[in-house]
Amino acid sequence: MDQQDHGQSGAMNYGTNPYQTNPMSTTAATVAGGAAQPGQLAFHQIHQQQQQQQLAQQLQAFWENQFKEIEKTTDFKNHSLPLARIKKIMKADEDVRMISAEAPVVFARACEMFILELTLRSWNHTEENKRRTLQKNDIAAAVTRTDIFDFLVDIVPREDLRDEVLGSIPRGTVPEAAAAGYPYGYLPAGTAPIGNPGMVMGNPGGAYPPNPYMGQPMWQQQAPDQPDQEN
Amino acid sequence: MERGGFHGYRKLSVNNTTPSPPGLAANFLMAEGSMRPPEFNQPNKTSNGGEEECTVREQDRFMPIANVIRIMRRILPAHAKISDDSKETIQECVSEYISFITGEANERCQREQRKTITAEDVLWAMSKLGFDDYIEPLTLYLHRYRELEGERGVSCSAGSVSMTNGLVVKRPNGTMTEYGAYGPVPGIHMAQYHYRHQNGFVFSGNEPNSKMSGSSSGASGARVEVFPTQQHKY
Rounded mean pLDDT of A168-181? 40
Q: What pLDDT, on the 0 to 100 scale, is given for residue B19?
A: 43
Residue B61 to residue B165: CA distance in whole angstroms: 34
pLDDT tens series, chain B, 234 aa: 333 333 333 334 333 333 434 434 333 343 333 333 333 333 433 333 444 444 555 667 788 999 999 899 888 999 898 999 899 899 989 999 999 999 999 988 988 988 899 998 999 999 989 999 999 899 988 988 887 776 555 443 333 333 333 333 333 333 333 333 333 434 343 333 333 333 333 333 333 433 333 333 333 333 333 334 333 333
Query: Who's near A222: CB < 8 A, 6+ residues apart?
Result: A145, A168, A171, A172, A176
Residue A96 to residue A103: CA distance in whole angstroms: 13
Question: B218: distance to nearest CA of chain A, Å?
Answer: 19
User: Of A67, A71, A86, A101, whose CA–CA distance to B150 is shortest?
Assistant: A101
Residue B86 has its nearest CB partner, among A5, A80, A134, at A134
Chain A residue numbers with beta carbons less than 8 Å from the beta carbon of B106 are 93, 95-96
Interchain CB distance below 8 Å, A80 and B90: no
> What letter represents residue B201's amino acid?
F
User: Of A194, A183, A157, A212, whose CA–CA distance to A59 is shortest?
Assistant: A183
- CATH superfamily of the A42-161 domain: Histone, subunit A (1.10.20.10)
Report CA Rg, chain A. Answer: 19
Residues 42-71, chain A, touching B (beta carbon < 8 A): 62-63, 66-67, 70-71
Q: What pLDDT, on the 0 to 100 scale, is given for residue B210?
A: 33
Q: What pLDDT, on the 0 to 100 scale, is given for residue A119?
A: 93
Mutation to test the A interface, candidates B92, B104, B134, most A Cβ within 10 Å: B134
B117 — contact with chain A (CB < 8 Å)? yes
Residue A188 has its nearest CB partner, among B40, B127, B144, at B127
Contact B6, A204 (CB under 8 A): no
Q: For chain B, what are the domain ranges?
A: 56-151
Q: What pLDDT, on the 0 to 100 scale, is given for residue B77?
A: 93
Q: What pLDDT, on the 0 to 100 scale, is given for residue B72?
A: 93
Residue A205, Cβ density class (10 Å: 0-12 exposed, 13-18 middle, ≥19 buried): middle
Chain B residue numbers with beta carbons less than 8 Å from the beta carbon of A15 are 14-15, 85
Q: What pLDDT, on the 0 to 100 scale, is given for residue B157?
A: 36
Residue B138 to residue B144: CA distance in whole angstroms: 10
Question: B165: distance to nearest CA of chain A, Å?
Answer: 19
What number of other Cβ atoms are within 10 A of residue A16's Cβ?
24
Strand ranges (DSSP E) for B57-171? 81-82, 116-117
Strand partners, B44: A100
Q: Please, what is the end-to-end C-alpha distance for chain A in angstroms?
A: 26
B112 — contact with chain A (CB < 8 Å)? no
Strand partners, A134: B82
A78 — contact with chain B (CB < 8 Å)? yes
Task: Report CA-CA distances (Å) from A66 to B76, B96, B132, B151.
Answer: 16, 22, 14, 24
Interchain CB distance below 8 Å, A70 and B140: yes
Reported as type and span, the H/E element at residue B185 is: none
Name the pLDDT band for A104 (thresholds 50, 70, 90). Answer: very high
Residue B119 has its nearest CB partner, among A82, A100, A111, at A100
Maximum CA extent, chain B: 63
CATH code given to domain B56-151: 1.10.20.10
Residue A77 has its nearest CB partner, among B28, B36, B94, at B36
Q: For chain A, what are the domain ranges?
A: 42-161
Q: What pLDDT, on the 0 to 100 scale, is given for residue A157?
A: 66
B98 — contact with chain A (CB < 8 Å)? yes
Question: A115: distance to nearest CA of chain B, Å?
Answer: 6
Mutation to test the A interface, candidates B29, B39, B102, most A Cβ within 10 Å: B102
Instruction: Give DSSP secondary structure letters for B29-83.
Output: HHHHHHTHHHHHH-SB-HHHHHHHHTT--GGGGS--HHHHHHHHHHHS-TT-EE-
Interchain CB distance below 8 Å, A193 and B28: no
Contact B141, A70 (CB under 8 A): yes
Per-residue pLDDT tens for A44-103?
Answer: 677 777 777 778 878 878 888 888 778 777 777 677 788 998 988 998 987 887 899 989
Chain B residue numbers with beta carbons less than 8 Å from the beta carbon of A109 are 137-138, 141
> What letter represents residue B179's amino acid?
Y
Question: A156: distance to nearest CA of chain B, Å?
Answer: 7
Q: What pLDDT, on the 0 to 100 scale, is given for residue B130?
A: 94
Interchain CB distance below 8 Å, A119 and B90: yes
Q: What pLDDT, on the 0 to 100 scale, is given for residue A60?
A: 78
- Res A213 pLDDT > 50: no
Q: Which residue of A has its CA nearest to B134?
A: A110
A31 — contact with chain B (CB < 8 Å)? no
Chain A residue numbers with beta carbons less than 8 Å from the beta carbon of B142 are 102, 105-106
Backbone CA torsion sign across A140, A69, B196, B147: negative
A195 — contact with chain B (CB < 8 Å)? yes
Q: For B99, what's the count of Cα atoms within 13 Å in the CB-facing half-sphere?
A: 27
Interchain CB distance below 8 Å, A82 and B116: no
Q: How many CB pairs under 8 A join A and B?
A: 312
A114 — contact with chain B (CB < 8 Å)? yes
